[in-house]
Amino acid sequence: MSENEHPELSRRDFLNEITLGALGIAGLGGAALTYQYFSPNVLFEPSTTFRAGSPDLYPVNSVTFMQEQQVYIVRTTDGFFAVSAVCTHLGCVTQWKPDADMIACPCHGSKFHADGKKIEGPAPRPLPHYAINLTADGELQVDKLQAIKADQVLRV
């Protein structure tokens, strides 16, 4: 084996290589920070309007919890309404208790009827109702930005 096949690095070459490597790493870090700085810092929130499917999915006299939306779709003999599942006390997510025929808050014990009216507990207000209507293609649609009076029912 000759010396030309594996030339030894001089101390100066070695230090130059180390310096170039360090500068390269610092440059990549700086580029990453610059990219992050100029990227839009946007929080995407879920839509406040959602489709709840065909009315046929809901039996008469049923309460269906839409977990992702935190809304109850309630169907009575009169029609449909959508009730918030978020407790008006401190914002815990309530639970429908079919055996007791009521909505209960696990945090401090507020209880509500299926139509959102308060039965007992520290909640200061009933659970709000949201606008519910039928889309052109016949599906239920709820708008959580639009609170409506509790006596408004969607008749289907």
The residue among 92 and 150 lying less far from ligand FES, judged by its C-beta, is 92
Locus of tokens 């990219």: 35
84 binds ligand FES (CB under 6 A): no
Burial code (b: 16+ CB inside 10 Å, e: under 16) for 4-29 equals eeeeeeeeeeeeeeeeeeeeeeeeee
C-beta of 86: minimal distance to ligand FES in Å? Answer: 9
As beta bridge partners, residue 74 has: 63, 81
Six-digit token pair at 25? 């790493």
105 binds ligand FES (CB under 6 A): yes
The residue among 118 and 129 lying less far from ligand FES, judged by its C-beta, is 118
Specify the DSSP class assigned to residue 142.
E
86 binds ligand FES (CB under 6 A): no
128 binds ligand FES (CB under 6 A): no
Stretch that binds ligand FES, among 47-55, 62-70, 106-114, 147-155 (CB under 6 A): 106-114
State the amino acid at position 83 in one-letter form. Answer: V
Q: Which of 89, 118, 129, 144 binds ligand FES (CB under 6 A)?
A: 89
Please name which of 153, 133, 135 lies closest in space to residue 143, comparing C-alpha atoms: 133
Q: How many residues bind ligand FES (CB under 6 A)?
A: 12
